[in-house]
Amino acid sequence: MERYRSQPEAAPNLNRYPYAYPITYRFIMAAIREGAHRKLPKKLQRYKNGWDRWVKKRNIAFIYFSSPAVEDEVGYMYGYGMNSRSIEPNRRAAVSDHVKTFIEMLRENCSPRLQSIFPLDEVLLHKPQTLISLQRRANAISIARRRSC
């Protein structure tokens, strides 16, 4: 237990998952060290394509936490909203759901020891605000204001 708890003092290698909060990064790395990402979660074992579903969730979460891409962009990469009749389909919700269930299932695949070190409610599912995300938000607000005038 001390091995994992002593990691916050050490500078984590944020190059691998630079767009995740430190607690989320530490959880993902500890789970990978245990091989939790290689096990099919119990909730997906009843599906014929359970492994494919797990790989998709895993890939979406890893893209989300290791790139500057936001939920909408990851959703676009995976084709969410393609059949929507809306001018601006909501691609964020599906990606957000995949990330949430991935973290939950990954944690269930971990040892009880690791689960006690990383309570589910402490592992953050969203990205920290970066300069890029703040700039995107500012640009979106200014575009929305111009449209409403």
pLDDT digits (tens, 9 = 90+) for 59-106: 999 999 988 888 888 998 888 877 777 777 788 888 999 999 999 999
pLDDT digits (tens, 9 = 90+) for 2-34: 444 444 444 445 556 678 889 999 999 999 999
Cα separation of 107 and 67, whole Å?
22
* Phi-psi group of 37: left, alpha or beta (phi > 0 → left; psi -120 to 50 → alpha; rest → beta): alpha
Provide the pLDDT confidence category of residue 116 given band limits of 50, 70 and 90: very high
